[in-house]
Amino acid sequence: MQDLKDVAEQARGYCSHQASKGVDSLASLMERTRADWERCLEGMTEEQASFAPGEEWTAREVVKHFLKATDGVNREIENLTAGEVPGSTEEADLARIGETPDCGTTDKMREGAADVFAEIVRLTRALKGNAHLDRQFPHPAFGQLSILEWIAFQRLHGMDHMGQIDKNKADAGYPRA
């Protein structure tokens, strides 16, 4: 098993590489990630969304976490590209970030994933020519990431959590449709 330092270096390298490709490439990457989430959640029943083998998260819990974290990153990107100081998020934004996404039904889960990626794509495309792209804010495991690296990180984060859902689907106890 790889040690966490190696994993963090690989993740940072991936984010840096993707960020170097520019805004249009990142927007396309986010569109592909949205499509990957659609495929991951496609046809999932309520029973399947609530299934968790052992101590694992359910698909519903995975999606809630992903949507909440991604919304928080999106808000920070939005603030930084507007010239705000990292971490100086307005109280209204902080309150909104703290809200739990509505994932009460599988339709709401799919809708939430589609909406958050539409927001990422919108934010990414709006970055063309932005004077603040060198701004950074810290990731708890990967250290300082630039705005464009954070967008690329959204792909890694999403793929990691889709892997969790796929692991649930592969479990012998996973409810069949």
Walk along the chain (177 residues) and give the pLDDT tens digit of each residue.
568 788 889 999 999 999 999 999 999 999 999 999 999 999 999 999 999 999 999 999 999 999 999 988 998 898 888 887 765 444 444 444 445 677 889 999 999 999 999 999 999 999 999 888 888 888 888 889 999 999 999 999 999 999 999 999 999 999 998
Cα distance between residue 120 and residue 131, in whole Å = 19
Q: CATH number of the domain at 24-48+57-170, out of 3.40.50.970, 1.10.3720.10, 3.40.50.300, 1.20.120.450? A: 1.20.120.450
The set of residues, in sequence order, having a beta carbon less than 8 Å from that of 10 and lying 6+ positions away, is none
- The residue among 69, 98, 76, 46 whose CA lies nearest residue 158 is 69
Give the gyration radius of the chain's Cα atoms. Answer: 17
Cα four-point dihedral sign 88, 140, 19, 134: positive
Q: What is the pLDDT of residue 88?
A: 47
- How high is the pLDDT of residue 99? 59
Burial state string for 118-151 with b = 16 or more CB within 10 A and e = fewer than 16: ebbbebbeebeebeeeebebebeebeebbbbbbb
| DSSP structure class, residue 105 | S
Determine the pLDDT at residue 7: 86
Nearest to residue 165, comparing CAs of 42, 75, 78? 42
* Structure tokens, 16: 């840096």
Domain map of the chain by residue range? 24-48+57-170
The alpha carbon of residue 94 and the mean position of all alpha carbons in its chain are separated, in whole angstroms, by 18
Query: 35 is written with which tokens?
Result: 């499509």
